[in-house]
Amino acid sequence: MRVLFYRVYQAIMRLVTGLVKWKDAEVIEGQNSILKIPALLVKVGYNKVLLVTDKGITALGLTAPLLSGLEKAGITCHVYDETIPNPTIDNIEEALKIYKKNGCQAIIAFGGGSPMDCAKGVGARVARPNMTIPQMRGLLKVMKKIPLLIAVPTTAGTGSETTIAAVISNPLTHEKYAVNDFHLVPKYAVLDPLITVGLPPHITATTGMDALTHAVEAYVGRSNTEETRQAARKAVKLIHDNLYTAYVDGGNLTARSNMLTAAFYAGIAFTKAYVGYVHAIAHTLGGYYRIPHGLANAVILPYVLDYYGETAHQPLAELADLIGISDESDSTAVRAGKFIAWIREMNASMNIPTKLGGFQAADLPGMIHNALKEANPLYPVPKILFADDLGGLYALIQ
């Protein structure tokens, strides 16, 4: 009965999602495209902005050209750079104080998924000042326009520059959950390959596999549309053709640019078709042990795809055909297996481990509970899993 309820719920959500008029982020791309941001703000008459980033980015000086451009345009920029991986409610509240104290009118998210999630959380709190972040957990709790949000990804992975989600951690409960609302989609996504050039190889690898996970989980799910299928396919092909090049040759601007585009398409795919148990499990590892999200996804992805078995064979076989690793004589199951094997080969070629390890036995019941709470009934996965299934998957990856 639970499986039937979940599938009915997912069918209703697919119908509702199809009726919504989506508005994707406007893309500004190319080398030095971040220098176009001041003109955007001047055009709308804004002269006070909050920039949300992290210490690593400011230490590398990646924000310096933008800050200089804002200053020349007469725009005062207040910087919050205390965002941590798996951003917390405290991060959002700290940044919100800066926004309010200085009368800011817009928000620039500069970084990977963590600064973008933090910035979205600030926007949600500005829009709904009488609601806490936990109260906005789940679907469509904001339902009000947030301040102008400009997203500048420094990694090609999360796709947060085009999604409706802000993923937040609560250190007190070890939970990591999403606030999902159409109003959280940034107004602009600025895809500048120059600011990704200095990304360390291991971050290039894990964030790239994060983008692949988004595309694959969306593609194998049961809430796809022609738009999300095409977006996922574009992302998978671009990642296949460019991720390893970006990993071994960080200065290759073509590969860097293509990976930013791949992450953007993967974001479009999963924000409209959802993800699956890879993300549900990865979020628990982030909440309990602060394991970076991209790393967790990269390790978990092949195990979950194997676990889905024949329920995922057809879409995985199609992806194998797409990237040219299958033969005409291969069965559907063989083609699907080749795609999963390719994922493992990619991980190995970029020194991503096959296991994560270090789980405490006492934490597993809570992790399983949180993963199931996130995934069921929302995620339209190929195969519904339950506590025993997740217990088995946690055992496989540690």
Q: Where are the domains of the chain?
A: 31-196, 201-397
Residues 263, 235 contacting (CB under 8 angstroms):
yes
Contact 38, 70 (CB under 8 A): yes
> What is the rounded radius of gyration, in angstroms, for the C-alpha atoms of the chain?
20
Position 307 confidence tier, pLDDT thresholds 50, 70, 90:
very high
Is domain 31-196 classified as CATH 3.40.50.1970?
yes
Are residues 123 and 184 in contact, defined by beta-carbon separation less than 8 angstroms? Answer: yes
Least-confidence region, from 50-54, 75-79, 159-163, 216-220: 159-163
Contact 249, 348 (CB under 8 A): no
Question: What's the rounded mean pLDDT across residues 95-109?
Answer: 98
Is residue 20 predicted with pLDDT exceeding 80?
no
Q: What is d(CA 238, CA 212) in angstroms, rounded to the nearest whole number?
A: 10
Amino acid identity, position 131: M
Is residue 66 a contact partner of residue 37, using CB atoms and an 8 Å limit?
yes
User: What token pair was written down for 144?
Assistant: 């009000």
Contact 51, 78 (CB under 8 A): yes
**26-80 residue pLDDT tens:** 999 999 999 999 999 999 999 999 999 999 999 999 999 999 999 999 999 999 9
Give which of 235, 255, 128, 101 is closest to 184, Cα–Cα. Answer: 128
CA distances from residue 390 to 64, 112, 218, 321, 367 in whole angstroms, order as listed: 45, 28, 20, 30, 9
User: Hey, which residues does 76 pair with through a beta bridge?
Assistant: 48
Second CATH level (architecture) for the domain 201-397: Up-down Bundle (1.20)
Q: How far apart are the first and last CA of the chain?
A: 32
Across the chain, mean pLDDT equals 95
pLDDT attached to residue 331: 98
Contact 174, 288 (CB under 8 A): yes
What's the pLDDT at 173?
Answer: 85
> To 10 degrees, the CA torsion angle through 56, 167, 52, 158?
60
CA–CA distance, 80 with 166 (Å, rounded to integer): 17
Q: Which tokens in the block code for residue 193?
A: 């390959």
Which tokens belong to 210?
């994060």
Q: Residue 22 pLDDT more than 80? A: no
DSSP state of 331: -
| Residue for token pair 């941001």 | 37
**CB 78 within 8 Å of CB 52:** no
Distance between CA atoms of 230 and 217, rounded to whole angstroms? 14
Reported as a single tens digit per residue, the pLDDT across 290-300 is 899 999 999 99
Section 104-125 average pLDDT: 97
pLDDT score of 236 more than 90: yes
